[in-house]
Amino acid sequence: MLRFFVSFAPVSNQIYDKKTVRGWTFYDWANSVYSLVISTAIFPIYYNSVTTQGKSDLITFLGFETKNSTLYSYTLSFSFLIVAFISPFLSGVADYTNRKKSFLRRFCYIGAIACGSLFFFEGVSTLWLGLLATVFASIGFWGSQVFYNAYLPEIAPKSLQDKISARGYAMGYFGSSILLILCLVLIEGGFLEKGLATRLSFLLVGLWWAGFAQITFWRLPEAKERKSIHFRTLINGYREVIGVWKKLQERPYVRRYLISFIFFSMGVQTVILLATFFGDKELGLDTSKLIVTILLIQFVGIAGASLFSYLSNLWGNLTSLKIAIVLWIVVCLSAFLLEKEDPHVEIKFYALGALVGLVMGGIQSLARSTYSKMLPKKGEHSTYFSFYDVSEKVAIVIGTFAYGFIEDLTGSMHNSALGLGIFFIVSIVVLQTVSNKAFIRD
């Protein structure tokens, strides 16, 4: 059973380098602490606490007054807009110079240092630092994912990519949960003042990320030939991305899959990034209950990633994705119906967290491996994954901005949750038009 849940059971006799694959999956172990501790769990709660003055969640920044959660949503949107803009440039340079690992390392360090610098964010007076570090941590994390994802079709045969992709997410869930528990003990254990302990947890994230990433850097292969960067290579990535789009015109099913992917990513990533704010502000749940829910999501997510990998082998990737999207629609509708006054709101929030965990890892893992299976056998995989990552980042820009805008417009995150459900509905409608012809490779 353990092998099933963490996806280490072999499914093919094809040869691949196990040490390289283990090294690749360890980057999920390393960088997922950013996703959990900074993006999802401790930092949003801390940010809400230090930027709420009395009972008011209004905050003034650069001369504009807005809700603290809305400002945070817009900050995330801005960071993803930067990543979407620079990804083609970076992947083009990496492909041309064969320096994927070099760029992976650099973005890893940018993200880790930014996480550590959140230690100095103590309140409204240092809000600029908190937001700036948030932007750079996001850029570091998602920028490195471009090069990390591009390794998958190079280190694993097609028949193993679902399994290995799920294994990476499982490693990430385990590793990040361990650090979250350690941070929770540090914060709630009474050893230090809570504010200081919380800021120390941000420093631990940076050290964990950069430290464990060394295993990945040791195991991933170095390019045999490395070229110098010339001026013409600076725009090569954008040309390549445009070239990928033109090639996709000849593969309408792959193009439709990417459109569906954009819409469900608007919902998935926004829920992951802003669910803690929803529980904190809209439902009034205290920190311990929110952390328990997040840990529940993490551990259920381990099983969820493996379950959907199993379903993809049984029924195929497209059917499994449709099941996941339907469950996400249920998540959004359920969140809209949750009320603070409900005496059973805590139990319902836990149940909703379990459902999110089940489909969160499953849909992310399947989305990555499904696209990987659609790529040509030969070609610049970094460029194809750059296009994929640009699509995801544009989706997150729209999703997080829409979430914040709807809250700002209506005064309620409940309406924002309902709005995300519409994205999932559009996604499954588009996915219905995709057939297995998308998996025909050159």
Domain ranges, ordered by start, for the chain: 16-220+232-439
Tokens 């725009």: give the residue: 235
Please calculate the CA angle 377-391-45 and round it to the nearest 5 degrees: 125
The identity of residue 25, as a single letter, is T
Give the confidence band of 119 by pLDDT, cuts at 50, 70, 90. very high
Give the confidence band of 424 by pLDDT, cuts at 50, 70, 90. very high
- The answer, yes or no, to whether residue 389 has pLDDT greater than 50, is yes
Mapped onto helix, strand or coil, the DSSP state of residue 340 is: coil
Q: Which pTM was predicted?
A: 0.79
Give the confidence band of 4 by pLDDT, cuts at 50, 70, 90. very low
| Under 8 Å between Cβ of 156 and 11 | no
pLDDT, tens digit (0-9, with 9 covering 90-100), for 400-417? 889 888 888 888 888 988
Q: What is the third-level CATH fold of 16-220+232-439?
A: Growth Hormone; Chain: A; (1.20.1250)
pLDDT, tens digit (0-9, with 9 covering 90-100), for 145-196? 878 877 887 787 777 776 787 788 778 878 888 999 999 889 888 788 989 9
User: Using CA atoms, how far apart are residues 270 and 357, in angstroms rounded to an integer?
Assistant: 14
The pLDDT score that the predictor gives to residue 15 is 53
The DSSP annotation for 128-197 comes to HHHHHHHHHHHHHHHHHHHHHHHTHHHHS-GGGHHHHHHHHHHHHHHHHHHHHHHHHHHHHSSSS-HHHH
- The answer, yes or no, to whether residue 1 has pLDDT greater than 60, is no
- The answer, yes or no, to whether residue 295 has pLDDT greater than 70, is yes
Sign of the alpha-carbon dihedral angle for 219, 221, 227, 231: negative
The pLDDT score that the predictor gives to residue 33 is 94
The pLDDT score that the predictor gives to residue 255 is 85
> Mean pLDDT across the stretch 216-224?
82
Give the confidence band of 231 by pLDDT, cuts at 50, 70, 90. low
Give the confidence band of 212 by pLDDT, cuts at 50, 70, 90. very high
pLDDT, tens digit (0-9, with 9 covering 90-100), for 64-85? 888 888 898 899 899 989 988 8
> Mean pLDDT across the stretch 361-373?
81
**How far apart, in Å, are the Cα atoms of 323 and each of 5, 86, 173, 237?**
19, 33, 22, 35
The pLDDT score that the predictor gives to residue 226 is 61
Instruction: Provide the mean pLDDT of the chain.
Output: 83
Instruction: Output the CA torsion 321→158→149→259 (10° steps).
Output: -40
The pLDDT score that the predictor gives to residue 151 is 82
